[in-house]
Amino acid sequence: MIYNLTIVLIFIVSILLVLIILIQVKGGGIAENFIATTQIMGMRRTADFLEKATWTLGASIIALSIIASISIPRSTENTNTSIIEEKIMNMPGKTNIPVLPSPSQQEPQKNN
């Protein structure tokens, strides 16, 4: 549950970050078109807000990524068999196909 929520939040924050970066003035962004017509916050305050928003969204992506990696659902199934081995064993009309043990299941050979 937490994992799915963090993935959705990472997606939303990523879209917001892209939009904030596109709006920034430094590279002739979208905000440059609106500066002459609307001077509500002023040029300097707008640039400060966009820079702080960029840093905040970037830091939140890093934090959400760490939370997502910690909350990845772990499987409690038997991982000693591979998916291919399971499909072979459950195959309809299967014949006796020998399946070699995986390296973790093999016992070390003793040299005398």
Sign of CA dihedral 78, 80, 82, 87: negative
Which residue from 1, 11, 101 is spatially nearest to 65, judged by alpha carbons?
Answer: 11
pLDDT at residue number 30:
58
**Pairs from 18-22 (Cβ < 8 Å, separation ≥ 24):** 20/50, 20/53, 20/54, 20/57, 21/54
Mean pLDDT by 10 residues, the chain (112 residues): 91 94 67 53 68 92 94 71 74 65 62 59
pLDDT at residue number 101:
67
Distance of CA 78 to the CA centre of its chain: 26
pLDDT at residue number 84:
77
pLDDT at residue number 2:
87
